[in-house]
Chains A and B, each alone.
Chain A
C-alpha cells in the first residue's frame, strides 16, 4: 500500500492473544495523507480487537501502532489516555453518551477530557455539518437512531482528531442511512485532514471505499 507519500498511520506485525485458543495475527496497515481504509471481515475474527489495538485501548502482544510518528504503546497509561483524547476519534457500533448530559454538554465534556478549551462554535459547526445542529440541548438518548449515530460521529470528530476509527458504525442502520453515515464519516475525515478507518462486516460500504482490506 505504501506509495512513497507521507506516511501518516501504520501498524506493524500486530498480534494479540486473549488466551491460548483465541489469538490473532493482523496484517500491517499503512495510510498516507488523505487516505482512508475500509477493513472488512466476518464476526469473530478479531475486528474489534484490531480497532482497540489501533486506538491504544488494548496493548498488543507484539508489534506496534504508529500515528504521525508517535508509537502508541511506548506512552505511559495517562499519556496514552491524553494522546487518544486529542488525536483519535472513536465511533462505536452502538452510540453511547453520558446520559445525564445534553448533546452539547457531551461534546463539551469530550473537549474538556482532551484538555482542550471549551469551543462552542466548533461544537455548533460539527453538529451543523452532521445536520443535527438543532438538537444541541437535547438529551442524546431522546434522539432517533440515525441522529444518535450522527451524534456519535460528532463526539469522535469534535476534537479534530488525526485518526478516526469506526467500529461497525452502520450495522444497525438501513441502506439509506448506512450510506449517509459512511459519507458523513468520509466528509468529516476530509474536513479535519484525518485518516478514517472503518472496520465492519457490512458489505454495503464496499462501493464507497477505494481502499479496502479483508481480514
Chain B
C-alpha cells in the first residue's frame, strides 16, 4: 500500500467521500426529524392568518419563517371555547433581539415542552422575559439584564428604544425550539408596538403581576378573563413588524399571530381544521401533515444525494480493487518469495484481505470523521441563520450498516487478488522475475 501512495490515496479519498456523505446525510436527517418531531409534540393544529399552511407551521411551531399575518384575538378565543379543543396557546411574535425571536405568550407554552426554569422565574408582567437556554448562553444574558427588542425577525431592525425588557429567568435546555426563544407576556409585544398610547410608553419595567391588566390602553383585557382563568388574560396583543403599517388602524382590535391548539379527542382532527378554514377568515394547519409533506419534498433531495453517495462508495470499492490488484502485480515476486520462506497460501491470502480491510476501515473512519466535521459545520450554519443547532453526535444504528458495507466492499475488492495469491505459481513467478 505504502509503495503506491497515489492509488491508495485515491481509494481512500473516494471511500471517505462516500462514507462521509452517507453518514452526514443520516445524521442531518435524524437531527432534523428529531427536532421537528420534538417541537411538534402536543400540537395538533395551528390556527393563524390565511396563507401558506407550511409557512404557518414553520413560523408558529419552529420559528424559522415569517408569520402569515395576524388574527383577531376574539375570533381565536371563540374557537378556543369549542368543546373539542383541550387548550390553545396564543403566540405573538414579530420582534427579535439580536436575531432571537421575542414571543409573547402565556405559561402554557413552556409547559408544552416540559421546560423548567434553571434560574430565576417565569415572566409575570409586561416587559419581563424568561429566555431560552441557548439564547441566554450565546447572548450572555443574566437575570437583571435589560435589553431593547427590535422590529423584525432578523438582526438590525429598528430598535424599540423606549421599551426595555428585563430578564427575570432563564430556562433549562429543553431540546426544543424554546431554547432559541425569548418569552414574554403577550402584553409586552402589544405595548411595544403601541407607541401612540401615552400610558404604554411609560409602563415601567418589572412591575409585579397585578399591575399588568390595568396598564393597558386597551381595556378589552377583561372581556376574556372570563374563560379559562390563568392564561387567557395575557392574550391581548399587538402583531409583527411586517404589519407595522397597519397596526395603527387596527389598534382597537387585539390580535395574536397564531394559536397552537391541542384537541380533546381525535374527533377534533376530523372536524376542526375544516371548520376553521371554511367558516372563519383564519387558517388551520395540521403540523403532522405539513411536516410529512415537507419531508416528502426534502426526501427527493436526500434520496438523490444518497444514491450519489452509494455510487461513490461502489466506485471507491472498484478503486480499492484496482489498487490492490496493481499492488499485487508489483509484489507477486515478494509473495512468491514469502512462500519459499514458509508462508502458506492462506497466510498470504490473509495478508491481501487484511490490506483491503485495513484500507476500507481507514476510509470508513475518515468518512465518519468527515461527516462529524460536516455536521458541526451544518450545525453552525443552521445556528447562524436559523438559530437552530444540533445536539448529540451519537452513533446511529445505520452507521453500523455503513461500517458493514464498507468492510464488505473491502472484502469484495480483495477477493480476486486473494484468489490470485492463492493460486500463485511460485516457480514460474520466481523464474520470471
A85 on interface, CB distance cutoff 8 Å: yes
Tell me if B341 is interfacial: C-beta within 8 Å of chain A. yes
Q: Does B342 contact A (CB under 8 A)?
A: yes
Interface contacts beyond A49-B427, A78-B344, A78-B345: sample of 19 additional A-B pairs, CB < 8 Å, sorted by A: A48-B431, A52-B430, A52-B431, A57-B340, A57-B430, A58-B427, A77-B344, A81-B343, A81-B344, A81-B345, A84-B340, A84-B342, A85-B343, A92-B430, A94-B433, A98-B337, A99-B334, A113-B342, A114-B342
Q: Is the interface of A mostly helix, strand, loop or mixed?
A: helix
Which residue of chain A has the shortest Cβ distance to B2 in the bound complex?
A: A100
A interface footprint on B30-73 (CB within 8 Å = 1, 0 otherwise): 00000000000000000000000000000000000000000000
Whether the Cβ atoms of A113 and B427 lie closer than 8 Å is no
| Contact A82:B431 (CB < 8 A) given known A96-B334, A99-B3, A99-B334 | no
A55 within 8 A of B: yes
Nearest-Cβ distance from residue B74 to partner chain A, whole angstroms: 83
Q: Is the CB of B3 within 8 A of A100?
A: yes
Instruction: Name which residue of chain A comes closest to B347, CB basis.
Output: A113
Q: How many angstroms from the CA of A25 to the CA of B255 in the assembled complex?
A: 109
Point out the residue from A57, A82, A98, A155 that lies within 8 Å of B344, measured CB to CB.
A82
A110 proximal to B (CB < 8 A): yes
From B3, B341, B346, B347, residue with most partner A Cβ within 10 Å: B341
Candidates A49, A99, A100, A155; contact of B341 at CB < 8 Å: A155
Q: Hey, which chain A residues are within 8 Å of B426, CB to CB?
A: 52, 57
Q: Does A163 contact B (CB under 8 A)?
A: no
Q: How big is chain B's contact interface, by range?
A: 20 to 34
Q: How far is the CB of B7 from chain A (nearest CB, A)?
A: 16
Kindly supply a per-residue 1/0 record for chain A positions 105-119, scoring 1 wherever the CB is within 8 Å of any chain B CB and 0 otherwise.
000011001110000
A48-B431, A52-B427, A98-B334 are known contacts. Are A86 and B344 too (CB-CB below 8 A)?
Answer: no
B384 CB to closest chain A CB (Å) equals: 47
Contact indicator per residue, chain A 42-65, by CB within 8 Å of chain B (1) or not (0): 000000110010010110000000
Q: State the CA gap A57–B430 with chains docked (Å).
A: 10
Which A residues touch B334, using CB under 8 A? 96, 98-99
Kindly state the separation between the CA atoms of A98 and B335 in the bound complex, as whole angstroms: 9
Whether B215 is near chain A, meaning CB under 8 Å from some CB there, is: no
Q: A90 an interface residue at 8 Å Cβ cutoff?
A: yes
Is B107 in the interface zone, CB < 8 Å from A? no
Q: How far is the CA of A94 from the CA of B433 in the complex (A)?
A: 8
Interface centre among A58, A84, A113, A155 (most CB of B within 10 A): A113
Bound together, the chains give a CA A55 to CA B427 distance in angstroms of: 10
Closest B residue, CB atoms, query A165? B340
Task: Return B354 CB to nearest CB of chain A, in Å.
Answer: 14
Does chain A have a CB within 8 A of B339?
A: yes
